[in-house]
Amino acid sequence: MAFTLTDEERTESLTANSTTINRTFLCTPWRSRHEAALLLLGSVRLVGGRLVRILPARDPDLRFAFCQQVDIAPIEDDALEKRVAVPNPLIHAADYPGGARLTCTYKNYTYDEQDASSGSGDSSDSQQEIEIATMSWEFSGQALTLPNRYLVWKDAANGGPQGDDTLQLSEVSPVINIPKFDVLLTRHFVSRKPTRAILDNLGRINKSAFRVGRDVYEPGCLRFDSCQMSQRLTNKGLKYYDMTYRFGVMGVYDTFTKDDGTHELGYVTWNRIYDPKTCHFRKPVWFNDQSRGIYQYDEDGRVQVINGQDKTGFNLLFNPRAT
């Protein structure tokens, strides 16, 4: 239903870490007030038999502020004088010919200030889907108990693995902490479940450098660990999904053994583990297939044809048309 919005009033409230903007619009006709509100708030709508994702409207001046609440009331003069009477107000709603007053609250949302888009999600690409997602980080470490037969006390008189002062004889097992962190990325207002893309990429690592937001992760350092999905309903009863992806990041920067046997200082990747015998990170392979490491690469998975183009890997997790 067509409607007209007229900007009537604007107030701004700013603090050191938040922004709140109240904008008042006049909406005509009255019957279109919900259509206008949904367009401002963002939602999932049914258009031509398919779900279309609409992102919240952003403020034209402060581009990082998005509409989060809309309060609707009839124009005061209409409410007092021009209301059209109905025979049974429990069944029929009154009409106000003068229109509605929409009071909209804009706040600095979780979307990225520079890269968020206020257009239809169906026209966005995979990287744009990443930019408009909510992100959080969890830094931790993984305890690794070292075999004590490969270590000796530094002040040992005879030293060496065959000496009498190995830690094995002292019944001591040292533990080191392997640093890692998790990236949790939540997609909002997702109109379809990319079930096949999720299953195809679980447990895989990135074959090429992959950008998540403003961070670029080196090849082999990003692992797709899990996905948590919840179904929600719009105020018109349409279903959509919020889904949270968890990626594990190997953050170890150390000496590792390359495939040609030489040593290099760099990110060790998920396909290398620490070898206490050589004091380096090394890559284990399968006995019957030495080209395959512990984890497979994302780009080696199944291909989906989207808009006539082959898509594969982690990009499918964020493509709005992926299945």
Q: Output the DSSP codes for 25-66.
A: EEEESGGGHHHHHHHHH-EEEEETTEEEEEPPPB-SSSTTEE
Alpha-carbon separation of residue 119 from 43, 108, 129, 259 (angstroms):
12, 18, 12, 47
Which residues 6+ apart lie within 8 Å of 52 measured at CB? 44, 45, 46, 120, 121, 122, 191
pLDDT at site 175 = 87
CA 179 to chain centre: 22
Tell me, what's the pLDDT at 70? 95
Q: Can you list the positions of beta strands (E) in 237-315?
A: 239-250, 253-257, 263-267, 273-275, 280-282, 304-306, 309-311
Q: Position 126: which residue type?
A: S
Q: What is the pLDDT of residue 305?
A: 92
Which tokens sit at 101?
């007053």
- pLDDT tens for the chain, 323 residues: list them: 688 999 999 999 988 878 899 999 999 888 889 889 988 988 777 776 666 777 888 899 988 888 999 999 988 665 445 555 656 666 666 677 778 999 999 987 544 333 333 333 344 455 556 556 788 899 988 888 888 888 877 776 555 555 557 777 777 888 888 888 999 998 877 888 899 999 999 999 999 999 887 789 999 999 999 999 998 876 666 778 889 999 999 989 999 998 888 999 999 999 999 988 888 899 999 888 888 889 999 999 899 998 888 999 999 998 888 88
> Domains of the chain by range and CATH?
4-116 (3.30.70), 128-318 (no CATH)
How many other C-beta atoms can be found within 10 angstroms of the C-beta atom of residue 15? 7
DSSP state, residue 214? T
Q: What is the pLDDT of residue 92?
A: 63
Bridging pattern class, strands 19-28 and 4-14? antiparallel
Residue closest to 246 by CA, chosen among 279, 287, 201: 201
Q: Would you state the pLDDT for residue 110?
A: 47
Say what the pLDDT of residue 69 is.
Answer: 92
The tokens 């533990």 sit on which residue?
A: 175
What is the pLDDT at residue 279? 87
Buried b (16+ CB within 10 A) or exposed e, 128-149: bbbbbbebeeeeeeeeeeeebe
- Measured from the Cβ of residue 304, the count of other Cβ atoms closer than 10 Å reads 19
Q: What is the pLDDT of residue 94?
A: 67
pLDDT score at 88: 61
Using DSSP, state whether 258 is helix, strand or coil.
Answer: coil
What does the pLDDT read at residue 272? 93
Strands 309-311, 304-306: parallel, antiparallel or unpaired by DSSP? antiparallel
Query: How far is 128 from 135, CA to CA, in rounded Å?
Result: 14
